[in-house]
Amino acid sequence: MQRVENTNVIYNFTPDMKPVQTVGNGDIIRFESNDCFYQQVLKNTDVLEEIDQDRLNPATGPVYIEGAEPGDILKVDILSIDIAESGCSAVVPGHGILPDEAKEAIVRIIPIKDGHADYLGLHIPVKPMIGVIGVAPAAADGSWPTATPWKHGGNMDTHDIRVGSSLYFDVAQKGALFALGDCHAIMGDGEVCFTGLEIPAEVTVRLTVIKDQKNIGWPFLETEEEIMVIGSGDNIEAACRAALSPMVRALSNFHNISWEEAYILSSLVVDLKISQLVDPKLTARAVISKHYLTAEGFLASL
Amino acid sequence: MQRVENTNVIYNFTPDMKPVQTVGNGDIIRFESNDCFYQQVLKNTDVLEEIDQDRLNPATGPVYIEGAEPGDILKVDILSIDIAESGCSAVVPGHGILPDEAKEAIVRIIPIKDGHADYLGLHIPVKPMIGVIGVAPAAADGSWPTATPWKHGGNMDTHDIRVGSSLYFDVAQKGALFALGDCHAIMGDGEVCFTGLEIPAEVTVRLTVIKDQKNIGWPFLETEEEIMVIGSGDNIEAACRAALSPMVRALSNFHNISWEEAYILSSLVVDLKISQLVDPKLTARAVISKHYLTAEGFLASL
């Protein structure tokens, strides 16, 4: 199995980024991922100023997938996320969704043991997830810092991006140019304080190209029981609109009902969920049970 | 058991509203609730203009609870929600979270059978919930149309307000003056098209006064496995801040950790969830597992 070392990092998803490795269509590959601070935070501290701000949110890659062409879809099956033995979380006054209530900067190093995070005596079951994951954007969309989520993926901070999930991206550049990083041992919807439990990890994925497929517009995720579109925007309502619009269209096409009838169906069975409220763009997802629409049905109904 | 008939309705939660009935502390009482259209929509149609707009979102009540005084908390145990055999959903162009994509007004009458809604051939398991529920506001907060959610409750459209849940309100007026209405057979988070599956119902609740209790500020809900604060605001970020702030404070007090440490804990284990995006104020909830904070712990830690 190929392995991408964690020294191969990008800080921007750009249309013309250069691949560090090439894999075949359908190959399984293992990524060493850095935490969002590039492991610069190693002890409890209130001095976050010492961190090199140019090394935040690295993503490992990018990897060129043979056969991927603009217009295809890249399917990413997340096979494993092996997190390190310790991670960290931070509060920075002025950040998070209660920026005025946070009075002091703190960092907490949080050890992981037997699948649980030990935090101040609390025993928190971990649910590892990938924060930053994406492909090279279309030239028309320009370049995106890895800290920002958009149509190419990026810092979506969506905790359903976990083992057993499959993520689908529109391929905008030859080879797709896939990268990932910024895993969290656990994070609640909203990522309210500005960080999750930030942690280095090794992530194994299978990368498969789906040909002759209409574009989705936004990243699309499949879990065991649900499918979802992940949208981002300048506020959460805009992110919700981005996520919901393709879902209503697909429901209309798949069930052969009018757009308005699909809008009603969405109001009954689609959950709009907050992913994160703290990145340069905010992220939400439109989630529906596979009882009403499968991933295959969604992709065939765009 | 006392019964409140569905002809006793209010369209505003006001500080000085007059009770229609009186119950004892701890009594179980049954409310007949109207749908949000006061049953004016009885067939598939595109002519919503014929509806009397002055009869939207009625709440049945209010009921005076003996012994309830300003400063107390009213606990509402939801014991049963028996929905009618048919409900309706509507699309109105210009409404919902995709107002520009909705081209025509439609109404769909949706029959309920054996616990499922039959919609265009789809068999949707119902999850009955209460849309409008609340108490008389404080004089300082003024009057609130039943269509609007705020600190007194109102149109929170939160699908966790269902059988088995307990809802807690700050009592602002003598007798609390409790009312409810606007049940939905099912509704997704967001209520994206502007309606859920709107349906008349009979709702049985137990009303209990908790004395000598600090104020919560916002309605607080307990389900079997979780607790949550339900906040509302002019946008969903404001609603999230309202819901999260008391949760962080309670976590800090309960676990005897600093506010900033509780902020980190929230970032790991609190989910900020969208309730609805379509009412005059928007509603979100800050949800946490009872593993980290019980209802009793929350109330003792305000």
pLDDT in tens, B123-157: 999 999 999 999 999 999 999 999 999 999 999 99
- Please tell me if residue B252 touches chain A, with a CB cutoff of 8 Å: no
Q: What are phi and psi of A195, to 5 degrees?
A: -130, 155
CA distance A233 to A170: 18
How many angstroms away from the CA of A164 is the closest CA of chain B? 21
pLDDT digits (tens, 9 = 90+) for B36-75: 999 888 776 666 667 888 889 999 999 999 999 999 999 9
For the ranges A127-136, B50-59, B186-195, B201-210, the lowest mean pLDDT is seen at: B50-59
Q: Chain A partners of B104 at a C-beta cutoff of 8 Å?
A: 260
Query: According to the model, what pLDDT value does residue A45 have?
Result: 67
- Cα B147 off chain centre by: 11
pLDDT tens profile B148-195: 999 999 999 999 999 999 999 999 999 999 999 999 999 999 999 999
What average pLDDT score do residues A4-9 get?
Answer: 98
Handedness of CA A18, A21, A22, A23 (dihedral sign): negative
Contact B122 A260 (CB under 8 A): no
Please give, rounded to a whole number of angstroms, the shortest distance from the CA of B275 to a CA of chain A. 9
Could you tell me if B140 lies within 8 Å of chain A, comparing CB atoms?
A: no
**What's the CA gap between B53 and B201, in Å, rounded?**
21
CA dihedral sign of residues A13, A17, A18, A23: positive
Beta-carbon contacts of A20 under 8 Å, excluding residues fewer than 6 positions away, are A4, A8, A61, A62, A63
Q: Which of B193, B241, B264 sits opposite A267 (nearest CB)?
A: B193
User: Per-residue pLDDT for A296 more than 80?
Assistant: yes
Specify the pLDDT at position A23. 98
In this prediction, residue B261 carries a pLDDT of: 97
Do B266 and A193 make contact, defined as CB atoms within 8 angstroms?
yes
Q: Is the distance from CB of A15 to CB of A175 less than 8 angstroms?
A: no
In whole numbers, what is the pLDDT of chain B averaged over residues? 96
Between residues B239 and A213, which one has the greater pLDDT?
B239
**What pLDDT is attached to residue A41?**
83
Distance (Å) from the C-alpha of residue B38 to the closest C-alpha of chain A?
Answer: 20
